[in-house]
């Protein structure tokens, strides 16, 4: 028997396949962007809401997926259980105050959400790249998944760094000592950066990118 959770997780998994959020998938299908939001999956009284067959048909047509593809996603119970909603924000917006707590974890209500499978770190978040400063590694519109709880950062790791001044950047980790951190730019047209550690709010490892 199909369950409410299986159907919604299959839609989330289909969104992940196409590097979209549930709202992006709804827009692609010509539906209201909020159609697949978490808030639409149940009522305040606890009654379950199911996606309509019409909305599923529109999603399949828009993505080119077959009914068999969707049924396969419904049946992938193991991977479906690993699908999780991850906070998403634009790179520039993330520099503003109020979006990270003192520990460097996502906070506040200004985040969107995307579905993503297989994440062990419950504090993972996603950033959308803007501009060309990170070419050729990351392009405008790419999304990166970042793990705040990753330990043992090493030279050469791709990282997101936020300074106490509110600047957020994706760089290659060069050298990090007890006093300073050196960062290498992906794009040779942009200068490398160096900061005293007391100027840095956090350094988080990039674990995935939608390239």
Answer yes or no: is pLDDT of 204 > 60: yes
- Give the fold, CATH level 3, of 4-81: 434 Repressor (Amino-terminal Domain) (1.10.260)
Answer yes or no: is pLDDT of 83 > 70: no
Dig out the tokens for 177 from the structure: 């000592």
Contacts of 36 (CB under 8 A, 6+ apart): 8, 11, 15, 22, 23, 25, 26, 51, 55
**Tens digits of per-residue pLDDT, 129-185?**
988 889 999 989 888 999 997 678 999 999 999 999 999 999 999 999 999 999 999
Distance CA(9)–CA(6), nearest Å, equals 5
Span(s) in the chain for CATH 1.10.260.40:
4-81
pTM above 0.85, yes or no: no
Greatest Cα pair distance in the chain: 59
**Tens digits of per-residue pLDDT, 9-59?**
889 888 888 878 888 899 999 999 999 988 889 888 888 999 999 999 999
Span(s) in the chain for CATH 2.10.109.10:
84-209
**Tens digits of per-residue pLDDT, 94-105?**
988 889 988 899
- Angular region, 152: left φ>0, alpha ψ -120 to 50, beta rest: left
Domain range 84-209, its CATH number among 3.30.70.640, 3.30.1360.10, 2.60.120.10, 2.10.109.10: 2.10.109.10
């Amino acid at each position: 028997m199909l369950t409410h959770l299986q159907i919604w997780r299959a839609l989330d998994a289909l969104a992940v396949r196409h590097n979209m959020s549930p709202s992006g998938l709804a827009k692609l299908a010509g539906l209201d962007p909020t159609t697949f939001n978490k808030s639409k999956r149940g009522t305040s009284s606890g009654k379950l809401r199911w996606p309509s067959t019409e909305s599923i048909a529109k999603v399949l047509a828009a993505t080119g997926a077959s009914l068999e593809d969707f049924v396969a996603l419904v049946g992938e119970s193991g991977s479906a259980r690993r699908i999780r909603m991850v906070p998403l924000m634009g790179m520039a917006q993330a520099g503003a105050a109020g979006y990270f707590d003192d520990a460097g974890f996502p906070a506040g209500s200004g985040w969107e959400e995307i579905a993503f499978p297989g994440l062990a770190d419950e504090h993972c978040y996603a950033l959308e790249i803007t501009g060309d400063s990170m070419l050729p590694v990351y392009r405008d519109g790419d999304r990166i998944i970042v793990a705040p709880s990753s330990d043992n950062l090493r030279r050469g790791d791709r990282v997101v760094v936020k300074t106490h001044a509110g600047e957020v950047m994706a760089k290659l980790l060069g050298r990090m000592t007890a006093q300073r951190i050196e960062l290498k730019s992906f794009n040779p047209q942009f200068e490398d950066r160096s900061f005293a550690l007391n100027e840095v709010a956090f350094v988080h490892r990039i674990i995935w990118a939608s390239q």
